[in-house]
Amino acid sequence: MQKKEVEKAITQRNVLDLWACKYPEVTRWLTKLQRKKQAAHYFYRFCQWAHKTPSELLILKEKDASINPPPNTVEKLLDDFCGGNLADFTNAEKFIAAVSVKSFFKWNYRDLAKASGVVSLDKVKPYNALSKDGLRRLWNYALNPRDRALIPFVTCTGIAKETLSNLTWGHLEDGWETKELPLIDIPPELLKGHGKGKYKDVRQITFLTGEAKRELSVYKAWIEEKLGRKVTASDHIWLETYRPFRPLSYQAFGNLINSLSRNAGVPFSWHDGRRWVNTALEQIGISTNWARKIRGRKVKGEEAPYSRPAIDDLRKKFGEAVPLLEFISERAAVPQEVQDRVKGLEEETRKLRQQYHFRRVKAAKPEADKNCEDGKHCQQIVTEENLAGYLAQNWKVVATLPSGKIVIES
């Protein structure tokens, strides 16, 4: 009876201390992993289902190896687990457990057959339909500068949750606060595959938008005040907001966004942030390999893709996606009537410049609207550097165009 009570008390939080440490083969396996608690907990749950200890599972595999042909007892046991209708396991949980089991055997040099433990992960529920209004609401519900920095950070960099928990200030390029689109260079060890095997040379090359940089700068000043010192390159970026300000764990990131999403009434996960980035990249027509660099995935059929010129080209292309990625500043929509009128004015100006070969100094003066014969309520298009002079003559701003030019009215 006492044994059952102890087993029932084992959770992901305490599995290493109450269960894993009892088995040398489990301890050996866990030294190879980063997310030890999750792997150990799901392997523990599998062992409970199978009514076997880790040692007993390894003995079964060794017995199989002495028989020709081997009966593959463990593989069939894992297949029964994955294919069974288990009330205590969701489909996703069975998948994680199967990965953990096969990993345990691999690092104890008793590999299971690759065909075993297959779990279908067909999407049942649709992905969350994100919008700028929804993301802005989520951001407005954030309770502190850290959370207000995290949301635009993830939705422009596409950095995965596991990597977020290990990210340091040193992964940002030097002088990032003065750069227009700051670079974040993440080494293979922090990405999927952890730099091993086919993932050996994978890096994530991604960037911050202007609003993400601004919020990160605010958070940096805030956390430095709490720490009582300047952050260093080796400091983790995302910390707990209370002493001793430990780095946020993988699980803490999940709890944080679940709570924020629930309070704001906006369905959102950190993986939704990666999809938001990928959608924006697709809309600007970025190449597949460039998109994979930004998402931190293996680049296919390309050598040495991380040179400085390549990064500068990638930064320039990323800039095209910025208007699609940013969401904090709500921009008023320009009425279609105004857009059509502006388009006509731009076309007329272009033709006049071609006809009379206007010099640059004259070109700064916009052409009058041909439908504005009385000189009242006329609309013009000007650049930001010319705006001050017109405001001094009592012109008023009507709208800001996507090109950055400004519509004014007399």
CATH code for position 304:
1.10.443.10
* Region label for 301, one of left (φ > 0), alpha (ψ between -120 and 50) or beta (otherwise): left
The answer to whether 165 and 186 are in contact (CB under 8 A) is no
| Count: domains in the chain | 3
Task: Give the torsion through C-alpha atoms of 261, 266, 268, 274, to 10 deg.
Answer: -130
**Residue at 8 is within a domain:** yes
Higher pLDDT, 338 or 82: 82
Q: Residue 336: what pLDDT?
A: 59
Average pLDDT value for residue range 37-41: 92
**Residue at 112 is within a domain:** no
Same domain, 91 and 209: no
pLDDT at 267 over 80: yes
pLDDT at 22 over 50: yes
Element (H, E) at 381: strand 379-382
The whole-angstrom separation of Cα 82 and Cα 45 is 13
Tokens representing 137? 């609401």
The whole-angstrom separation of Cα 251 and Cα 258 is 11
Same domain, 307 and 189: yes
Given 278, 301, 325, which residue is the final one in a domain?
A: 325
Same domain, 293 and 146: yes
pLDDT at 366 over 90: no
**Residue at 377 is within a domain:** yes
The string of pLDDT tens digits covering residues 79-88 is 999 888 888 8
**Residue at 120 is within a domain:** no
Q: Where are the beta strands (DSSP E) in 37-88?
A: none
What pLDDT band is residue 397 in, cutting at 50, 70 and 90?
A: confident
Determine the straight-line distance between the first and last CA of the chain, rounded to whole angstroms. 86
Residue 168: helix, strand or coil by DSSP? strand
The whole-angstrom separation of Cα 128 and Cα 147 is 20
Structural domain boundaries enclosing 65: 2-107
Same domain, 136 and 236: yes
Same domain, 345 and 207: no
**Residue at 362 is within a domain:** yes
Given 325, 352, 371, which residue is the final one in a domain?
A: 325
Q: Residue 219: what pLDDT?
A: 97
Apex CA 137: angle with CA 206 and CA 124, to 5°?
75
Same domain, 203 and 245: yes
Q: Exposed, middle or buried, 108 (CB in 10 Å: 0-12/13-18/19+)?
A: middle
Q: Residue 160 CB: number of other CB atoms within 10 A?
A: 20
The string of pLDDT tens digits covering residues 65-118 is 888 888 889 999 999 998 888 888 888 889 999 999 999 999 999 999 988 888
pLDDT at 158 over 80: yes
Q: Residue 85: what pLDDT?
A: 81
pLDDT at 358 over 50: no
Q: Residue 335: what pLDDT?
A: 55
Least confident of 62-66, 127-131, 293-297: 127-131
Element (H, E) at 351: helix 336-356
What pLDDT band is residue 350 in, cutting at 50, 70 and 90?
A: low
**Residue at 125 is within a domain:** no
Same domain, 282 and 356: no
Least confident of 119-133, 234-248, 361-375: 361-375
Same domain, 140 and 82: no
**Residue at 115 is within a domain:** no
Element (H, E) at 365: none
Same domain, 84 and 192: no
CA atoms within 13 A on the CB side of 82: 21
What pLDDT band is residue 244 in, cutting at 50, 70 and 90?
A: very high
Same domain, 217 and 277: yes
Given 325, 348, 379, which residue is the final one in a domain?
A: 325
Same domain, 187 and 211: yes
Same domain, 321 and 340: no
**Residue at 113 is within a domain:** no
